[in-house]
A and B are shown apart, each in its own frame.
Chain A
Amino acid sequence: MLKKILFKDSRNLQFIFATAGALIGLTALLLSLQLIMDVQSFHSNEEELFGPNSVVIQKKVTKLTSIGMNSTEFSPEDIKSLEDKEFITDVAPFESADFKVGISEVEGDGLPHFYADMFFQAIPNRFMDINVDWDWNEESEFIPIVLPRDFIMIINYGFAQSQGMNQISEELLMAARLTIYIDGNGKKTEMIGRVVGFSHKISSILVPEPFLKHANGIYGNGKIKNPSRIFITTKDNSYGELDELMNEMNLDINKSAIDVAKIKTIIAVVIGIFGIASVLIMLLSLLGFVQYSQLVLSKASYEIKTLLRLGYSIQSIVNTFIKQLSITFGIITISAITIMFFVKIVAVNTWLEENGINIEGSSLTTTLIVAILCFGLFIVSNYLNIKKTVNKLGDA
């Protein structure tokens, strides 16, 4: 009966607008939140779209470099200045083998006969973009090697065909042992190596850092002092600074790494704008709802006053309001979650799949918690507002 008295005029246009506003706002908020989390969980092969932004930088080779007038080495001062850049969070020079390297097949392991001169480089483990067994010590059976993915393409679709060789699958290459010839500091040795993986990001032939340090100590000629390639990790959305740095230091950076940085920055900005807009919509709709409850209160001011005169407690009146508003906003919250879920499953996921993008479904928990928090925020703000108004009417 209290509900009948207090909400007698509430089914009007203002109520419909306030309800629609809150529903749209909450749906937009939940959907953008869910999409942001989906994008963050997005994995393109091994590289995370929103993972650490690691790029390899090197100085451009110019005419002057070729005639020995200019060096592509990074001096200790160069490295220091990189470390000082605010947007760079990590700097690690490539370590290079200071000796000659050659490889050939191990007979009977299935590879055709070949011999090639090579080089080795090493980077700290934290920059490895693939997950491989990368441990090495002096007792190890073989030296793990990571090749650039392009390498096997060149072998199979260029080299092998022109030489009349059989093409080699990744699996075969990884199963076969390789003979490694090392020559430097007046010493020669042979070791066994094995390809353990292929990297997209690093166009170099990588071996574990401990091995290279060990080998350089024994076979090093002492010629290489400064590194010529450096790994850096940048903060998210720092494409602008990276671009500036490239021009400043005359750097050469893998085009695709730059593109990824650029795309990441653009996506982050777009999602950020979408997120801010949703929060604004949400706040507006909350405001609309508080105004709606204010409207109901002012329309029911005679009823509230009379109920207080009859002996009804403030709390029982406030509870009647809150109960009714909880039901209304509860329905809105559940509807918003349902709509969000359907839009995500039916529209967004389908669209992504059609475009060949697979998103590892991120969990709904956070979104649900945010929805419940919004519900709580709404109830608390209305509770305080209603209690204040009813108290005021009681004192009048």
Chain B
Amino acid sequence: MLLEFKNVMPFPLKDYQHDETSVWKAGFSLEFPKKVLLNASSGKGKSTFVSTVYGLRKDYTGTVLLDGKPIDTLSIHEWIELRRTKLSAIFQDLQLFPELNVWENLLLKNQLTAHKTESEIEAMLVTLGIGDKKFQQCATLSLGQQQRVAIIRALLQPFELLLMDEPFSHLDEGNATIALELIRSETDLNGGGFVLTTLGSHHGFNYDHELKL
């Protein structure tokens, strides 16, 4: 999947002094599979970047292209198809269903894609240390636990590009490393790539490319 930014400037960021190397000024063209790190301090537009590429925000000037096609020309139906087959995301606010339990939240996605077997999903829960929380309502989980549910959910579909908006912000370094390892192996299994945004820590991750904001 080819992702290109041409003169893209989100409205809320247009008065901000951006570095010459910032994607908001310089633009970029990336062919996935690639593992990309997007490192920036708070307020520079990490979440805006993820939301824009995922098609949730349209408040920008310039052109964002996916496989050569401007994304603002995609219909809602095309977006839905993309989000089911090529594009996955872990949002900063996680977007879980608090009234459903962990298992229901995960099945909701997997029933749509039939990407993993139930035992594979259970294994993922165990890997991330929340195997015993399977039937706990999400609203009652800690933020760190919820974050891990959101990570697993994002992996329950085929993808060419996985967008992650500070996915480890509530995890300790040890758990973050385990989670990143799971993401890396699933990404390779899909033959896809990802963009990881962080506030600074690399979580010991060897990236192919770094984007700056």
Partners in one complex: yes
Chain B: number of interface residues, binned into ranges: 20 to 34
* Chain B, Cβ-Cβ closest to A307: B108
Contact B83 A314 (CB under 8 A): no
* Chain A, Cβ-Cβ closest to B107: A1
> Which residues from chain A contact B113 at a C-beta distance below 8 Å?
311
Contact of A394 among B76, B85, B104, B107 (CB under 8 A): B76
Closest CB in chain B relative to A357 CB, distance in Å: 58
Contact A5 B97 (CB under 8 A): yes
Interface size counted on chain A using CB atoms at 8 A: 17
Cβ of A308 within 8 Å of any chain B Cβ, yes or no, is yes
Interfacial residues of chain B within 147-201, with CB under 8 A of chain A in the complex: 153, 157
Determine the distance from Cα of A395 to Cα of B75 in the docked complex, in whole angstroms: 9
> Which residues from chain A contact B121 at a C-beta distance below 8 Å?
none
Contact A309 B54 (CB under 8 A): yes
Closest CB in chain A relative to B146 CB, distance in Å: 14
Cβ of B95 within 8 Å of any chain A Cβ, yes or no, is yes
Contact A391 B104 (CB under 8 A): no
Cβ of A313 within 8 Å of any chain B Cβ, yes or no, is yes
Closest CB in chain B relative to A296 CB, distance in Å: 15
Determine the distance from Cα of A394 to Cα of B109 in the docked complex, in whole angstroms: 18
Interfacial residues of chain B within 83-114, with CB under 8 A of chain A in the complex: 83-85, 89, 91, 95, 97, 99-100, 104, 107-109, 111-113
Contact of B80 among A5, A8, A303, A312 (CB under 8 A): A312
Majority-rule SS of A interface residues: helix
Q: Which of B76, B85, B111 has the most CB of A within 10 A?
A: B76
Determine the distance from Cα of A8 to Cα of B97 in the docked complex, in whole angstroms: 11
Contact B83 A5 (CB under 8 A): no
Contact A1 B112 (CB under 8 A): no
Contact A391:B99 (CB < 8 A) given known A1-B104, A1-B107, A1-B108:
no
Determine the distance from Cα of A62 to Cα of B134 in the docked complex, in whole angstroms: 102
Contact A314 B100 (CB under 8 A): no
Cβ of A65 within 8 Å of any chain B Cβ, yes or no, is no
Cβ of A4 within 8 Å of any chain B Cβ, yes or no, is yes
Contact B97 A308 (CB under 8 A): no
Contact B80 A308 (CB under 8 A): yes
Contact of B97 among A306, A314, A394, A395 (CB under 8 A): A306
Contact A309 B56 (CB under 8 A): yes
Contact A311 B80 (CB under 8 A): yes
Contact A311 B84 (CB under 8 A): yes
Contact B112 A312 (CB under 8 A): yes
Contact B76 A8 (CB under 8 A): no
Cβ of A347 within 8 Å of any chain B Cβ, yes or no, is no
Contact A310 B112 (CB under 8 A): yes
* Chain B, Cβ-Cβ closest to A9: B99
Contact A306 B112 (CB under 8 A): no
Contact A8 B99 (CB under 8 A): yes
Contact B80 A306 (CB under 8 A): no
Q: Which of A303, A309, A391, A395 has the most CB of B within 10 A?
A: A309
Determine the distance from Cα of A366 to Cα of B54 in the docked complex, in whole angstroms: 53
Contact A309 B112 (CB under 8 A): no
Contact of B99 among A4, A311, A394 (CB under 8 A): A4
> Which residues from chain A contact B81 at a C-beta distance below 8 Å?
311
Determine the distance from Cα of A391 to Cα of B76 in the docked complex, in whole angstroms: 8
Contact of A311 among B91, B100, B112 (CB under 8 A): B112
Contact A310 B83 (CB under 8 A): yes
Residues of A with Cβ closer than 8 Å to B?
A: 1-2, 4-5, 8, 303, 306, 308-314, 391, 394-395
Extra pairs beyond A5-B97, A308-B79 (20, CB < 8 Å):
A1-B100, A1-B104, A1-B107, A2-B108, A4-B99, A4-B100, A5-B100, A8-B99, A308-B76, A309-B83, A309-B91, A309-B95, A310-B108, A310-B109, A311-B85, A311-B113, A314-B76, A314-B77, A314-B80, A394-B76
List 14 interface pairs A-B (beta carbons < 8 Å), by A numbering.
Answer: A1-B107, A1-B111, A4-B104, A5-B97, A308-B76, A309-B56, A309-B89, A309-B91, A310-B112, A311-B80, A311-B84, A312-B80, A313-B80, A394-B79
